[in-house]
Structure 1
Amino acid sequence: MISTKETTAGTAPVDIDTMRHSISQLLGPDAPPPAGDKLAVLDSLPRGHMQLIIPEIEQAALARDQDDVPRYCALACVGEARGKLRATAPQGEHGALTHARKLARTLAALCDHYEALTDVVMCLACDQPLREDEEALPYDHVSPSGSATRAGSIHARCAHAVRRH
């Protein structure tokens, strides 16, 4: 699957990879706390991404049945996201960083909902999207009782990777 997805005519594509990169700059385990001008930029990135992805999530959600659980969850997340977009950051650098991280976590949830609503398939080994141009293998993790506990696909490159469940 391609994570940069063309949307309706006249709109920009949703680039999930770029959005997730912006998130990692604020929430990644190796991300140093940004300060000054960099913090202002890193606060504006999730805002802009959220403004792009929210209409796409709404469109995908509203195309589903009214009693569809992913639809309901995605629309609830959109409501929460709009509330966070309206909120202002507390004064000071610490308040701004806290607010930017809240936006990043909300954007991460929106990306997850977008992928769920648009049927993006994830690799069960590395938790990254399976793209159309990548070789994928079927995968069934078999439990000791003999039944499959997780069925799906993995990247061919992940087939020999060690993963602890």
Structure 2
Amino acid sequence: MTGTAQTTAGTVPVDIDTMRHSISQLLGPDAQPPAGEGLATLQGLLRGHLQLLIPEVEHAALKRDTDDVPRYVALACIGEARTRLRTTVHEGEQHGTLVHARRLARRLTALCDHYEALTEVAMCLACDHPLHDNEDTLPYDHISPSGPAVRTGRIHARCAHTYRRH
């Protein structure tokens, strides 16, 4: 299973990598959001990604038992994403457009995470990219320095010596 092109509802392939690339243009420590028309274009792209991903996540969630917690959380996130899509920004408000675009990006991030969890896509805990069957991976356990929290999973072998801020 890959995180790049999968379908759950049998409609359009979901390209999570492209969606996450769009998100990275607005969120993250090194993000340099575009201005003017570029920002409006990116905002439209994020809206399109959300419109594509919402039915896919919903389909994957509805296949779960009604008392399944990931199902419940994913459906709540879908509701928030739909609300965010209905929200509009007044023309010419550059700051308002940036704030709205970042809110869309955060919703899209959450939906990408839910999609991967519900479709059981394994992600590298170091770089947040999908783990593919043909890649070398290593087990990974991270114990939080501030408490008993533990993140276990797998990482790419190439990510073994990289540092990630949690």
**Taking structure 2 as the reference length, what is the TM-score of the superposition?**
0.86
The 3-state SS of whatever aligns with 1:14 is coil
| Unaligned stretches of 5+ residues in structure 2 | 145-149
Please tell me whether residue 48 in structure 1 is matched to residue 45 in structure 2.
no
Deviation at 1:63, TM superposition (A): 0.3
d(CA) in 2 for partners of 1:64, 1:134: 29
1:139 paired residue number: 140
User: Over residues 70-109 of structure 1, what are the superposed CA-to-partner deviations in whole Å (9 max), with x where a residue is unaligned?
Assistant: 0000000000100110110144111111111111111111
Structure 1 residues 9 and 111: alpha-carbon distance in aligned structure 2, compared to 1, 3 A threshold: closer
Corresponding residue number in structure 2 for 1:77? 77
Amino acid at match of 1:36: G
In the other structure, the counterpart of 2:129 is 128
Q: Matches of 2:75 and 2:165 in 1, distance apart? A: 34
**After superposition, where does 1:17-96 map in structure 2 within 5 Å?**
17-91=17-91, 92-96=93-97
SS at match of 2:33: coil
Q: Is the aligned partner of 1:158 residue 2:159?
A: yes
Structure 1 segments of 4+ aligned residues over 6 angstroms from their partners: none
- Asked if the contact 1:90/1:99 (under 8 Å) is kept, the reply is no
CA distance in 2, matches of 1:40, 1:72: 32
Provide TM-score, normalisation by structure 1.
0.86
Q: How many residues align?
A: 163
Higher Rg = 1
Judging changes above 3 Å, is the alpha-carbon distance between structure 1 residues 81 and 137 closer, same or farther for their aligned structure 2 residues? same
Query: What is the percent sequence identity of the aligned residues?
Result: 71
Larger deviation, residues 57-66 vs 10-19: 10-19
| TM-fit CA distance, 1:48 | 0.2
